[in-house]
Structures are given as C-alpha cells and as structure tokens.
Amino acid sequence: MKKRDYYEVLGVARGAAETDIKKAYRRLARKLHPDVNPGDKNAQKKFQEIQEAYDVLKDAEKRRAYDRFGHAGTAAGFDPAAAGFGGSSSGFGAGAPPFEGFHFESGDLGDLFGDLFGRARSARAGPHKGEDSAGTIEIPFRDAVLGGTASLSLRREKECPQCHGTGRAGRVVCPTCHGQRVVAEAEPIKIRIPEGTEEGARIRVPGKGAPGEGGGGPGDLYVTVRVTPHPYFERRGDDIHGVVPITVKEAYAGAEIEVPTIHGLRRAKIPPGTQGRQKFRLRGQGVKNPRTGQTGDHIYTVRVMVPRAVTPAGLDAATLLDSLYDAPVRKDLPRGL
Ligand SMILES: [Zn+2]
C-alpha cells in the first residue's frame, strides 16, 4: 500500500502552523484511538497512520526532511547529510525509526489520554498511575487552628459482586447493578488536619484517587478545606481577633481581666484610661503557621459597657465623670464634608 502524504493524513495544509498540526492530530487521535474503537482493525490502522504522520510533522527537523525528500526523508537509515541535507542526523537516520507501533510520548498523548482514557487504557500503554481526584470538606474552626482529624466517606466504584462485572444475570440485566457492571461503595477515610490549616487549603491524601491500570499505583486525593466560622474568634492570617467587654471603672481605673484565646483564658492588664475600641495584643497566642512555624498573636478590642439601668446615683456618678474630661470629646471631628 502506497503511503499517504502526512499532511493529507492529518488533513492540514503543507504550510500549517505547529499548533494546527497538533490540534488536527488530537482531534483525530480522540476519534481513532484503539480504546474507543476496540477490535476495529481499520481504526487501528488509521490511528497508526496519524501517529506516524504526527511523529514527523511535529518535529521541525523531521518535517523539513519530509518536506524535502518525502517519505524517504523519514525512513530508517536515511542519512540527511548524505542526501545533501544539512544539519545533524540525530533524531532520525541511524537511530530508531521514527515510528514503532504505538509509541506514546508524554506531553503528546500523555495529557490527551490522561483525561479521556484514564480508566480505559490497556496494558499496551504499560502501567500508569490512576487519576487524581478532588473533594471538599468543611471542618470546625477549632480543628483548623489547632489541628485534628476529619472523617469523610469516599464513593468508589467496584465490580458488581452479583454479576461479577458482566452486567447480566443469565438472560436479564443484573438487578444489583442494573447492567452498569459496577456498584458504588463507600470507603471511610480519615484525614489529618495540620495545625493552622487555612480556609481554602488543599490537603493531599496519597493513594486515595482513582485506581491505577496495568500495575500502576492509585492517584491521589486532593481535599479543599472549608472552615466553619467561629461565633466569637475571627482569624486574620495567623492572628486571632476577639472583642472583650469591660466596665467603665475597668476602663478608667485599669484592671486585670481574663481574655479568651484559642489556647484558653489568658490574664491581661487593662491600663488606666483605656478607651473604648482600643486594641491590645497577646503575643504568641494566635495560630501557628504550618509553613513558617511562627505563631501569630491574639488581638482583642475592648468595648466599654455602660450600665443600662439609669438611676439617680448613676446620674451623679456620670455627671462627676463628665466634669473630668480635659477637652470636649468631639473636638477633633470634622464639621462635614
Ligand atoms: Zn451486576
């Protein structure tokens, strides 16, 4: 059988750009791959043909030789130097022929069939790792900042135990898998949550992706973490923020109070003359960053509480306090825009 022109095989013009050649090849490879056409000899032959054509046309040097000498330029043993073709003969010539059965190069077919034929690839392609899979879990605030474990259930497909993967029970469709040949199975797994895990973090769980083929290991599972917000503590980076109510006397006279942190209660001093909304910092009482190993701070904002009950005694005390300001409290405010 006379060899067809490589450009014709891929359905591209002679001057086609490299990207168009790749596109054309991918389109045809998807259509003609043996895994999509099991037992189809014609498709197999065509697949070999496009594979061979692409092997030559994707390679600038081989393509030049082909453009100049036709199929002879890509044949095993062809010496471009002897044929008057400048440049080295590496890549073809004395080395391996440009095409040998199904020979896949990663990057060409690797990524293409990774998504399309991850499950269907045959032993011919050799052992390969299973697909990675992804999921999301929501974890409590406490586990995210201090670390912990999360449990989740993976849904896996396994061969139907009723029909042993045939999809049939005698002459009818298997009632267990409804002809799907596989049934879903839940696999409980535990994930270690490292201390300081942030919202949106991805945790890799090795070996919990899709199973491999032909002796290849399973893929990995990537779990994206969502953190349930805490009703009191708020995390900003490695710092934790919280609001602490204090009395008028504590603010005015100063006090020692207990401040809740994610590590428990900490005693802290409120200096005399503390103003409402003033912020204080407790060093090292925040979140330990899993990357840097550094621990953030606990920052608390005080909120001065005024007694709700208004009494004559309270009014006397307030009036007395009012006389003690050294300047009007609103003197620094703008008068408008
Ligand atoms: Zn079944």
Take residue 83 and report the two structure tokens written for it. 């044929």
Q: Can you tell me the distance from the alpha carbon of 70 to that of 48, in angstroms, rounded to the nearest whole number?
A: 18
Helix (H) or strand (E) run with residue 322 in it: helix 312-322
Q: How many whole angstroms from 154 Cα to the centroid of ligand 1? A: 21
What pLDDT is stored for residue 115 in this prediction?
38
Q: How many whole angstroms from 169 Cα to the centroid of ligand 1? A: 7
Hey, is 305 helix, strand or coil?
Answer: strand
Bridge pairing between strands 148-159 and 221-227: unpaired
Which residues does 233 contact at the CB level (< 8 Å), separation at least 6? 141, 145, 240, 241, 242, 260, 262
Which residues does 234 contact at the CB level (< 8 Å), separation at least 6? 240, 241, 242
* pLDDT, tens digit (0-9, with 9 covering 90-100), for 147-163: 999 988 887 778 888 88
On the question of pLDDT at 130 being above 70, the answer is yes
Q: How many whole angstroms from 166 Cα to the centroid of ligand 1? A: 7
* pLDDT, tens digit (0-9, with 9 covering 90-100), for 187-241: 888 999 999 999 999 999 998 888 887 788 889 999 999 999 999 999 999 999 9
The model's confidence at residue 71, banded by pLDDT at 50, 70 and 90, is confident
* pLDDT, tens digit (0-9, with 9 covering 90-100), for 259-308: 999 999 999 999 999 999 999 999 999 999 988 999 999 999 999 999 99
Q: Can you tell me the distance from the alpha carbon of 107 to that of 118, in angstroms, rounded to the nearest whole number?
A: 15
Choice among 98-112, 114-128, 210-224, 313-327 with the minimum mean pLDDT: 98-112
Q: How many whole angstroms from 214 Cα to the centroid of ligand 1? A: 23
Q: How many whole angstroms from 224 Cα to the centroid of ligand 1? A: 33
State the chain's mean pLDDT as an integer: 82
The model's confidence at residue 129, banded by pLDDT at 50, 70 and 90, is confident
What's the whole-model pTM score?
A: 0.57
Hey, is 126 helix, strand or coil?
Answer: coil
Q: How many whole angstroms from 208 Cα to the centroid of ligand 1? A: 24
Q: How many whole angstroms from 159 Cα to the centroid of ligand 1? A: 8
Q: How many whole angstroms from 172 Cα to the centroid of ligand 1? A: 11
Q: Decide if 214 contacts 118 (C-beta within 8 A).
A: no
Q: Can you tell me the distance from the alpha carbon of 231 to that of 314, in angstroms, rounded to the nearest whole number?
A: 33
The model's confidence at residue 1, banded by pLDDT at 50, 70 and 90, is low
Other beta carbons within 10 angstroms of residue 33's beta carbon come to: 22
What pLDDT is stored for residue 125 in this prediction?
60
What pLDDT is stored for residue 73 in this prediction?
66
Choice among 82-91, 92-101, 204-213 with the minimum mean pLDDT: 92-101
